[in-house]
Amino acid sequence: MNMSFEFDRDFTSTKNPGYDDCKSESFDHENSSTRSKVWHAGMLTGDRILQAIDEGDITITPFDKSRINPNSYNLTLNPELLVYSDEILDFKKKNNTKKLQIPESGLVLYPNTLYIGRTNEKCGTDKFIPLLNGRSSVGRLGICIHITAGFGDIGFDGTWTLEITVVKPVRVYPNIEICQVSYLTPYGERSIQYAGRYQGQIDATASRSNIDKKVYR
């Protein structure tokens, strides 16, 4: 089946519809011989993120309005990092870590090391799909802020874990604006509630792959 994605709004328009108007729907594609479904999805603008915060549909704590972007919000780096102290990591065991503290003078990060960090901000939403990405200036320094976990779940509430790797040695500082969160409108009904291993996390958190997530339901 030929699947494709289209936006249901003209985002080049200066008109900003309310996010409740950004409904996701599907229909048969008239130009496809297989009549595949096309999904309509939308990303919230900065104005709509502010509206959602005012109405309680998105929470970001602490919140600073100066960090809002055209379609995202900048999040900052907490000074505490974790690194694994085990030479070989094990998916079914709790792996040992040690803490690093980023001083005001900065800390040099090195290639071939995974640094587990977190945002200062605690974020949550029961209505939208959060999407985390690095900022452009951060990426241009060769800093990756996540490896595979860029999407968040509807219903997650906590700080964002950052899986930080670097291409070259680079000095970072506490509380820098290191990443940005955007919000997508979901498609379909939602009967499954988030019950993951990391719900409510605050501190930098290593992998909990060894824990059955059912204990969190």
Show which residues are catalytic. Answer: 163
DSSP strands (E only) in 11-103: 26-28, 37-41, 58-61, 73-76, 80-84, 97-101
Is 201 within the bounds of a domain? no
Is 55 within the bounds of a domain? yes
pLDDT of residue 135: 92
pLDDT of residue 198: 67
Residues spanned by the domain of 158: 4-193
217 residues of the chain, pLDDT tens digit each = 344 444 444 433 334 444 444 444 443 444 444 444 444 569 999 999 999 999 999 999 999 999 999 999 999 999 999 999 999 999 988 889 999 999 999 999 999 999 999 999 999 999 999 999 999 999 999 999 987 767 788 888 899 999 999 999 999 999 999 999 999 998 888 777 776 666 656 666 667 676 665 433 3
- Give the separation between CA 53 and CA 162, rounded to whole angstroms: 23
pLDDT of residue 208: 67
Please tell me the chain's helix, strand, coil percentages from 3-state DSSP, rounded to the nearest 5: 10, 35, 55
pLDDT of residue 163: 94
- Residues in contact with 207: Cβ distance below 8 Å, sequence separation at least 6, in sequence order: 89, 95
Is 40 within the bounds of a domain? yes
Is 32 within the bounds of a domain? yes
Is 211 within the bounds of a domain? no
Per the structure, the count of domains in the chain is 1
Is 202 within the bounds of a domain? no
Q: What CATH code is carried by the domain that includes residue 100?
A: 2.70.40.10
Phi-psi sector, 142: left (phi>0), alpha (psi -120 to 50), beta: left
Is 19 within the bounds of a domain? yes
Is 52 within the bounds of a domain? yes
pLDDT of residue 30: 45
